[in-house]
Amino acid sequence: MSRAVKVYGKALFDYANELNALDEVSKDFESLRQLISESPDFQNFLSNPTFSKKNSIEVLKSIAESAQFTEVLLKLFILLAEQRRLNLLSDIIEEFHALYQSKKGYLMAQVTSSSPLQDKQVNSLQLILKEITGKQVLLKHQENPELLGGFVVSLNSLQADFSIKAQLNNLRSELEG
């Protein structure tokens, strides 16, 4: 993540915290994240620098008003449009979300599996990680068919690889060595 994203994310987090608006801004960001993921037109708008600052601000004000976003988010929209940094919005959301979860006492873990995880698997994994860390753990899921089966969990700087690919590689190493 770029330095600019970290600076914007931290400044936004501090500002929202100062206004006691962290929960509201987090909810707004969840709605905004969904809008970004579901709307290719909005994704294009955010990444297209050819829109004028004025038009960008008008579009963002309209979106903020119709979605009833907080004033904090509207100010972020305007700032990013004026600085021509709307392309950073998704990463700023992620940075804010990480800071927010940390403040709430949650840890974020990355889980990579060869196929989608069932709710029961997610719940079991969260429970195991909570027992190990003593904190609530939120899972961010990613699929990678190259794992062949199983999963890889990354939490902070730790990584546990329970994939079939890793097991096959270990078996190959033992047979060769």
CATH 1.10.520.20 maps onto the chain at 3-101
Q: Residue 15: what pLDDT?
A: 96
Task: State the pLDDT at residue 156.
Answer: 77
CATH fold, domain 3-101, is Peroxidase; domain 1 (1.10.520)
pTM confidence score: 0.69
Q: Annotate the chain with three-state secondary structure.
A: CCHHHHHHHHHHHHHHHHCCCHHHHHHHHHHHHHHHHHCHHHHHHHHCCCCCHHHHHHHHHHHHHHHCCCHHHHHHHHHHHHCCCHHHHHHHHHHHHHHHHHHCCEEEEEEEECCCCCHHHHHHHHHHHHHHHCCEEEEEEEECHHHCCCEEEEECCEEEECCHHHHHHHHHHHHHC
When pLDDT is cut at 50, 70 and 90, the band that residue 140 belongs to is: confident
pLDDT at residue number 120: 94
Q: How do residues 80-116 score in pLDDT, each as one tens digit?
A: 999 999 999 999 998 998 899 889 888 888 999 999 9
The reported pLDDT for the residue numbered 10 is: 95
> pLDDT at position 170, please?
86
**Residue 1: predicted pLDDT:** 64
Q: What percent of the chain has pLDDT over 90?
A: 55
